[in-house]
């Protein structure tokens, strides 16, 4: 998904999540909270015939405790594919949108054959570690200061 489309969809998803939160927490919807399990927002591409999940949230509880919000969506990741920037959840292929987790360990998409480092590269345009998302990396210091992950310079491009 190109960055401008992703940003437009992402801002709508954020707005939907905020509205759902405020509605679900209202006193008028006590009964609905008791039965609501999950809310999923997908973007569907007719050409690819594939849906890209942008929001996966729900409510959960245990042992008669109050409900709490759950999240099942992945953070967005930017890639360079055929010279174009694409943004998809980090567990998806930037070319075909199918599931492709742990790209640094499993470098080829099992659905379309896209290979990380050859057909696409992770775009690092901030200092956020692409592995743990908590630490920092840079061109001069490619080892994460939190998790120790070493960025393979053949798999990324710096922006």
Whole-number Å distance between alpha carbons of 42 and 13: 9
Mark which of 71, 103, 119 sits at the end of a domain: 71
Convert the pLDDT of each residue in 115-142 to its tens digit: 999 999 999 999 999 888 899 999 999 9
Q: Are residues 25 and 92 in the same domain?
A: no
Question: Do both 82 and 149 map to the same domain?
Answer: yes
Sequence-separated (6 or more) residues with CB below 8 Å from residue 36: 24, 58, 59
CB within 8 A of 118, min separation 6: which ones? Answer: none
Q: What's the whole-model pTM score?
A: 0.71
Total count of domains within the chain:
2
**Tens-place pLDDT, residues 47-77:** 888 888 887 777 777 777 777 777 777 888 9
């Amino acid at each position: 998904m190109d960055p401008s489309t992703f940003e437009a969809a992402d801002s709508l998803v954020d707005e939907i999540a905020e509205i759902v939160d405020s509605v679900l927490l209202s006193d008028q919807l006590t009964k609905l909270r008791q039965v609501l399990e999950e809310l999923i927002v997908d973007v569907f591409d007719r050409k690819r015939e594939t849906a890209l999940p942008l929001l996966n949230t729900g409510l959960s509880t245990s042992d008669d405790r109050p409900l709490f919000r759950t999240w099942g969506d992945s953070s967005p990741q930017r890639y360079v594919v055929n010279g174009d920037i694409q943004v998809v959840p980090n567990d998806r292929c930037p070319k075909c949108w199918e599931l492709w987790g742990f790209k640094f360990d499993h470098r080829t998409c099992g659905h379309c054959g896209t290979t990380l480092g050859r057909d696409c590269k992770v775009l690092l345009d901030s200092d956020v570690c692409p592995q743990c998302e908590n630490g920092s990396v840079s061109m001069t210091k490619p080892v994460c200061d939190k998790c120790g992950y070493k960025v393979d310079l053949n798999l990324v491009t710096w922006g």
